[in-house]
Structure 1
């Protein structure tokens, strides 16, 4: 098949999720010609399952978080036969932020220094202080609601007040006070009043099924309109299969396939990867050449390795009193960082974040009674159980994952996507350290519900489908032998290739990563702009 050559642009971005949106807006605003290639489409809020009473059923198929189950034209399959946890993602303008809960927490300062503090992993080549100004600037753009003064963090302020704790949040907070454990009102990228083109939160509690009110800072709303206004050309339905290099070893073009199967060669002076920790690794491994026989930017052999997925567990508590647990955001009503940092007395490294979430649906609640015999769950018995609708709270544990080279992304030998491109194989096993963290956290979550007086407690030891935190597969560092990119996300091997998604994170911490990913992307984008004149470009 012949390739259609497209007119050259300054920057090609692969992926229109949060990090791609930030880079597009930043560089287009500074006068660069920017094209972003996104394999998904624009999604209308009117189509979200959260708009419909049967939303829990819709999540089982067409709107599943699992690529293999959803199987839309824009999705690629994954070989999941060798993983304990299923990585989840969503393809479309805004990426997985369309379906995220918008928990908006920064890494802790200690997360950047685990080698120094704990003697494990590697330190990041940057510190919390290096990233802090970028965290703050992103917060102001997207409208983050929170309460300053959290003793777990260095000082930070928010332009919007936090969301109400609600009856459930108050019950849980009182329980944590009894236990003497840290808690704080939820910080989230969901405005508490109208912000730019984002509506005020209406508290429907369906954040993780897409916000039908347009009140969540998914990046199709929070960043892409401004990026397009600044001049970015966004191409949807574009599946990238290869990055090519010239004789000098610089990236010179991106090969992509449209929905009609036509191939295009988009010439460019620089490439920015923003396709998440699986998509980016996959594309780099696909981009082989005489100069890069093991994949682009892979002289270290680390592309695809050190995959971190933030395994989750959860404990649902059912309460006899009405607590309006269908009210959002979900989101997090409150969170606890009591166990977020390493305490070697627990027998493992790292920690976990606990976040309290409402449960707006009834099927999920009925599932909590799966230990009961069939006749006590269905038929007339349902009416004895449905009283817990509106009376359920979910304490979820986000487990700090440690990097291990055996947890990795490779190209599958047999499985391909609809265009015949090799699909990713996921190899991920929960380590002994992570298992100890999971077990410890589960006990603490149960303890929280017991202290709050829950009438029924149901525990999930491992959330099989992870929360979409796909990190570490192209880590940053100062040494090209032990990292893929430098402290600004620039490839050590290919000076005009940048990576700005969660791939570059050295450690995962226990926090939801999007705040960190977007701060890193903003920092990288400004570095690209500031150093462009001094960089070599393809001839």
Structure 2
């Protein structure tokens, strides 16, 4: 088995921004400039090398969101929460997620304690975030060396595919080989329903190589997976693989999200807000407004502590993040542009606009976050909304369902009409979900992978 990865290895302590700057961006429909973000992370180990280790489970409402939302696309997943539960448990064991399977809980940070107290005083329930980070004081635990977000853990206290040795081929008839520095340009078809090879571009040597395949499993994120299928046009798939109904790339969903930053009163500078923050990006959250009668559509999301990436950035500031799943609409999509990058690969272009419902939903969550910061004594509050040009949460462009008319893959991730082309990433998620997706993407991928012959 070969795993192909465009990016290379990353060093312990590497930061996401400088690392990812070398890779192409997407065009956006608003100004035509390459200022969109079509990647999670280009590196061996993927986005988990840089993620903030928040590992929340989805809820049944995330899988059946048509109870609250109505769009021009199918919203409900073709599976139920019970189909994911055993896989969640296995992932929690493999990643050593805090406060699960007997692993120690990760205590709230000083800022987290402040926020938790403020929430409780406002009648808002707070919770500890389940983290895929070994707590300080435990074996190979966190050494609180930074304010870790968008940072490769230097000690492997934060879980990743590499840090926890999840690529285990001991039970396989062969071995797993990871080939990096390869950009998969297209999938070649043998006939109308079977792939026979993949074409890869190697930027370092400017070579095109062809690799015969028995089966193709694509896990490239909701933008890159759809783009690969669209690039794979041929006489056997004139619109691209899986695109007979024109659905590949449609339903592109980010998380609607934003940040509120409280600048604390000078009188509060004796509190924990004055100190630099060391340790996890987030330790406490509230799900009080996940499903709530006061939220527009009665369907909200999460509000959680969100410390700045470097410790000193946090001095005198308290930041909250709010996120919710974006409504999936067919007009939100990715397409291939006529312009090409320096390697001759067509640019990806986003066509995306946020719905009125989503603006109302995220506005409600922002107001509640501001309530908490004001209760803490914030002198003034700044807001920032930034999700329409991409993020690390990407969903929905290869939608799962029973019928080729309304979906691209079946409930097990196989592209409709194809015998050996599968998709097992966030692109198969019909609704983006109201919480961080890493845990669910992994659990769902495990569910689909175990179905393979």
Corresponding residue of 2:306: 357
Match of 1:283 among 217, 221, 228: 228
Q: Report the Cα distance in structure 1 between the residues aligned to 2:105 and 2:381, rounded to whole angstroms.
A: 28
How far 1:392 sits from its partner (Å)? Answer: 2.5
TM-superposition CA deviations, 1:70-109 (whole Å, max 9, x none): 1x2xx23311343897555210111122221111111111
Do the aligned partners of 2:335 and 2:348 also contact (CA within 8 Å) in 1?
A: yes
1:274 aligns with 2:219: yes
Structure 2 residue matching 1:208: 3-state secondary structure: coil
Alignment match, 2:161: 219
Which residue, out of 160, 185, 206, partners 1:241? 185
Runs of 5+ consecutive residues of structure 1 not aligned to the other structure:
1-33, 50-57, 65-69, 147-156, 366-388, 533-539
Q: Structure 2 residue aligned with 1:111, among 50, 58, 62?
A: 62
CA distance change for structure 1 residues 467 and 190 in 2, over 3 Å: closer, same or farther?
Answer: farther
More helix by share: 1
CA distance in structure 2 between the partners assigned to 1:513 and 1:460 by the alignment: 21
1:82 is matched with which residue? Answer: 30
Structure 2: how far apart are the matches of 1:193 and 1:244?
Answer: 49
Q: d(CA) in 2 for partners of 1:228 and 1:36? A: 16
Whole-angstrom CA distance in 2 between matches of 1:297 and 1:466: 23
The equivalent residue for 2:96 is 143
Match 1:207 to one of 149, 155, 160: 149
Change (3 A) 1:497 1:458: same
Contact kept, 8 Å, 2:26 with 2:38, in 1: the verdict is: no
Q: Spell out the pairing of 1:478-497 with structure 2 (5 A cutoff).
A: 478-497=402-421
Name the SS for the 1:220 alignment partner: coil
Cα distance in 2 for partners of 1:479, 1:194 equals 51
Does 1:407 find its partner at 2:374?
Answer: no
- Among 125, 129, 134, the residue aligned to 1:182: 125
Q: Which residue of 1 aligns with 2:76?
A: 123
RMSD: 2.5
Change beyond 3 A, Cα 1:361–1:207: closer
1:162-207: CA deviations, max 9, x gaps?
A: 2121221111111111111121101111122699xx9311222223
In 1, the alpha carbon distance for the partners of 2:385 and 2:9 equals: 36
* 2:40 is the alignment partner of 1:92: no
Question: SS of 1:82's equivalent?
Answer: coil
**Conserved in 2, the CA contact under 8 Å of 1:184 and 1:334?**
yes
Contact 2:261 2:382 in 1 (8 A): yes
Q: SS of 1:242's equivalent?
A: strand
Deviation at 1:266, TM superposition (A): 1.0
Provide the C-alpha distance between the structure 1 equivalents of 2:25 and 2:38, rounded to a whole number of angstroms.
Answer: 11
In structure 2, C-alpha distance between the alignment counterparts of 1:493 and 1:194, rounded to whole Å: 52
Q: Give the secondary structure class of the aligned counterpart of 1:355.
A: strand
Deviation at 1:227? 5.1
Residues 223 and 249, structure 2, Cα contact 8 Å, conserved in 1: yes
CA distance in 2, matches of 1:125, 1:399: 21
Distance in structure 1 (CA, Å) of the matches to 2:186 and 2:81: 34
Separation of aligned partners in 1, 2:261 and 2:253:
25
Per-residue CA deviations over 1:395-418 (Å, capped at 9, x if unaligned) read: 10112211011110110111x233
Q: Of 236, 254, 265, which residue of structure 1 is paired with 2:210?
A: 265
- My pick for the range that moved more, 201-210 or 35-44, is 201-210
* Structure 1 residues 405 and 464, CA gap change in structure 2 (3 angstroms): closer
